[in-house]
């Protein structure tokens, strides 16, 4: 089994710190995404993440993100050290064998830096628009997850399920890591946890799930730890990661809608760094910062926070 535990935080910091690249806050071009990826690596961030969605619609109209996997391949090619991954990939959007192949190629391009975040999806709008089946998503996830993890870790599968059939399938060529990339579940749903906890290396909670504060971690952590024990897994063997909404000075104002879900973290670098230390004290191994503004200049504003975090407490 691959393990995220092999990924050490930079500079001895108490937890890894990543950032999610823009999704629908505005419409970045590839040149903007490339610059942000390079800036993130240059200032010492540990990871870069992209959303895996196709279309949003609300009262303000339609918004569409760039496709996740081609974006990850490009980011892998223009960076050298930083970990990358989808936050998280919906297993509904690709046949599971193809998803395993795409993950293998991105892991190869990156030299073994991919973390494969997986989930069942939730946004009915994009399912209907792009022709994906929206019903029985968790049951479909269960079969897809079995196929993806088996191909990545063992290289072959023969599988006959209700939704997918894979006859004498082999994953060739294999990627740079014999056991494939580490797997991370992006869900705290009870059934999803029962399906994934025997097998994943890490779990992730979105900031709205726990109120975007270290004080809220306990409830989510206890839920996941309980699921681990239910399936016979030591909770200490599964890494804990969470997204954190962070409001920076000079923001674009594009994440006002998120304030309904959870108040953003804000303040001077020392305060933000101390809050991140509090997440580490709650057992969190990595945070994925969802920042406003998410621009090259916004990412550069994270440098003083990392410097404060890297200083001995």
In terms of Cβ atoms closer than 10 Å to its own Cβ (0-12, 13-18, 19+), residue 60 is exposed
Which pair of structure tokens corresponds to residue 111?
């030299």
SS3 content of the chain, % helix, strand, coil (to 5): 45, 20, 35
Distance (Å, rounded) from C-alpha 227 to C-alpha 313?
33
Distance (Å, rounded) from C-alpha 87 to C-alpha 241?
11
Residue 2: pLDDT over 50: no
Contact between residue 283 and residue 217 where contact means Cβ atoms under 8 Å apart: yes
**pTM, to two decimals:** 0.94
For 150-171, write each residue's pLDDT tens digit: 999 999 999 999 999 999 999 9
Contact between residue 243 and residue 188 where contact means Cβ atoms under 8 Å apart: no
Distance (Å, rounded) from C-alpha 32 to C-alpha 75?
11
| pLDDT of res. 5 | 44
| pLDDT of res. 11 | 77
Contact between residue 38 and residue 65 where contact means Cβ atoms under 8 Å apart: no
pLDDT band at 3 (very low <50, low <70, confident <90, very high): very low
Average pLDDT over residues 122-127: 97
Contact between residue 28 and residue 40 where contact means Cβ atoms under 8 Å apart: no
For 82-113, write each residue's pLDDT tens digit: 999 999 999 999 999 999 999 999 999 999 99
Question: In 3-state terms, what secondary structure has residue 22?
Answer: coil
């Amino acid at each position: 089994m691959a393990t995220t535990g092999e990924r050490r935080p930079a500079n001895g910091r108490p937890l890894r710190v990543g950032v999610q690249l823009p999704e629908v806050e505005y419409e970045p071009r590839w040149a903007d995404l490339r610059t942000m990826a390079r800036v993130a690596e240059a200032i010492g961030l540990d990871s870069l993440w992209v959303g895996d969605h196709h279309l949003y619609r609300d009262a303000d109209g339609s918004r569409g993100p760039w496709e996740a996997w081609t974006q990850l391949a490009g980011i892998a090619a223009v960076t050298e050290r930083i970990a990358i991954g989808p936050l998280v990939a919906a297993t509904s959007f690709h046949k599971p064998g193809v998803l395993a192949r795409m993950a293998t190629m991105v892991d190869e391009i990156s030299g073994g830096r991919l973390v494969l975040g997986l989930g069942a999806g939730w946004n009915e709008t994009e399912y209907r628009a792009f022709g994906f089946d929206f019903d029985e998503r968790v049951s479909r996830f269960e079969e897809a997850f079995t196929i993806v993890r088996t191909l990545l870790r063992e290289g072959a599968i023969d599988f006959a399920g209700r939704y997918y059939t894979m006859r004498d399938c082999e994953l060739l060529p294999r990627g740079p890591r014999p056991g494939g990339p580490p797997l991370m579940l992006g869900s705290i749903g009870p059934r999803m946890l029962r399906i994934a906890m025997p097998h994943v290396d890490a779990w992730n909670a979105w900031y709205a799930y726990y109120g975007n504060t270290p004080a809220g971690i306990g409830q989510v952590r206890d839920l996941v730890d309980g699921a681990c024990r239910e399936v016979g897994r030591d909770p200490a063997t599964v890494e804990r990661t969470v997204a954190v909404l962070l409001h920076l000075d000079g923001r674009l104002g594009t994440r006002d809608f998120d304030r309904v879900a959870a108040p953003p973290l804000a303040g001077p670098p020392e305060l933000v760094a101390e809050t991140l230390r509090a997440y580490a004290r709650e057992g969190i191994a990595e945070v994925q910062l969802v920042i406003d503004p998410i621009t090259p200049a916004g990412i550069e504003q994270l440098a003083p926070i990392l410097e404060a975090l890297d200083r001995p407490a």
